[in-house]
Amino acid sequence: MKFLIALCIMILWTCAYTAMSRTLSEPSIVEAHQQWKMKYGRTYTNSSEMDKRYQIFKENLKYLVNFNNAGNKSYKLGLNPYSDLTSEEFIATHTGLKVPRHLSSSKKGSNTIHFNLSDDVPTKFDWREQGVVTDVKNQGNCGCCWAFSTVAAVEGIVKIKNGNLISLSEQQLLDCDEQSYGCNGGYIETAFNSIIQSKGILRESDYPYKENDQTCKLNGQIAAAAQITSFAHVTSNDEQQLLQAVVQQPVSVSIAVGEEFQSYQNGVYSGTCGRSLNHAVTIVGYGVNEEGKKYWLVKNSWGESWGENGYIRVLREGGESKGQCGIAMHAAYPII
């Protein structure tokens, strides 16, 4: 029954959507905004806030309807919980990567591993099928993608090496990595170092996510659920090197998020990028779609309502050595 209702809502939603893309009249946009607010439980505190959000929603909707109608792209945009935010607001509150100065130049970090290219890598690979990836999480209104990205990579290597898939604590990094800036952004390098210095990382359930910076609650000894010994950078601007790393384990990567990311719905993303690396995510696989487009399978931390159940497929080997939106520029993985 529940399933039928959900199905009906989905069909109505799709019809409303298709009709709307033909007309996009003011009443249809008002109606779409109403439906969207109900679907995501969004409320506004007063009428001026409501008007402001409606205008932003309208601009976002027009953009994505026009985009999808153009119809010749390998990815689609759609409404999601972030559809009433401007791209500036969204990027300011939902990303949060900082890149160490010496690494943002072309110089390599001292701990960069160079893989010997192996010919027998599979044409597609998905760490989720190996049970190595936890459910998609949601950083919410806090610029701590750096914690989510590194934790997902640690969860991966812990399962691969120790056999247990354990959801680990981003909040520990948020509170205890003193070289990062909590919800105001942080470094994947210092996040890994913080885990090493703390002698491990707690379970998510023992140190749950609060969506804001708090004081570090580790006092000396911790009941660590997992430990790492070090981390390594992947040779930058080389997607073949990145591929070798991903076959080995899930890898923490950086991307330059541009405005279309916010509304990404499905497909292989080859759209707008930001000017610099501003978001950290985790590559958990790769593949080739029906049209022969190669992609990286990327776990994001914007909840399951965004993208393909929380994931995005990002164009792979699209011709730029730095990768689509710089995805091959700054990658690292933890070592046990």
Catalytically annotated residue among 145, 183, 273, 325:
145
| Nearest approach, Cβ of residue 243 and ligand NAG (Å) | 14
Q: Which CB atom, from 45 or from 219, has the smaller least distance to ligand NAG? A: 45
278 flagged as catalytic: no
Q: Which residue number, 46 or 215, has a Cβ lying nearer to ligand NAG?
A: 46
How buried is 115 (Cβ within 10 angstroms: 0-12 exposed, 13-18 middle, 19+ buried)?
middle
Find the catalytic residue in 273, 300, 325, 330. 300
Catalytic residue among 33, 94, 233, 279: 279
Cβ contacts of 302 within 8 Å, gap of 6 or more:
82, 94, 138, 139, 310
- 104 or 248: whose CB is closer to ligand NAG? 248
Nearest approach, Cβ of 236 to ligand NAG (angstroms)? 16
**Would you state the structure tokens that stand for residue 235, as one six-digit string?**
């040779």
Residue numbers at the binding site for ligand NAG (CB under 6 A): 45-46, 48-49, 70, 72, 113, 115-116
Nearest distance, CB of residue 69 and ligand NAG, angstroms: 10
Minimum Å distance from CB 50 to ligand NAG? 9
Residue 145 appears among annotated catalytic residues:
yes
Exposure of 157 in the CB half-sphere (CA atoms within 13 A): 25
Contacts 24+ apart (CB under 8 A), 65-74: 65/20, 65/21, 65/24, 67/260, 68/21, 69/21, 73/267, 73/270, 73/271, 74/267, 74/268, 74/269, 74/270, 74/289, 74/291, 74/293, 74/315
Of 45 and 215, nearer to ligand NAG (C-beta) is: 45
Catalytic-residue membership of 162: no
What is the C-alpha separation between 308 and 304, in angstroms, rounded?
Answer: 8
Catalytic positions are: 145, 279, 300
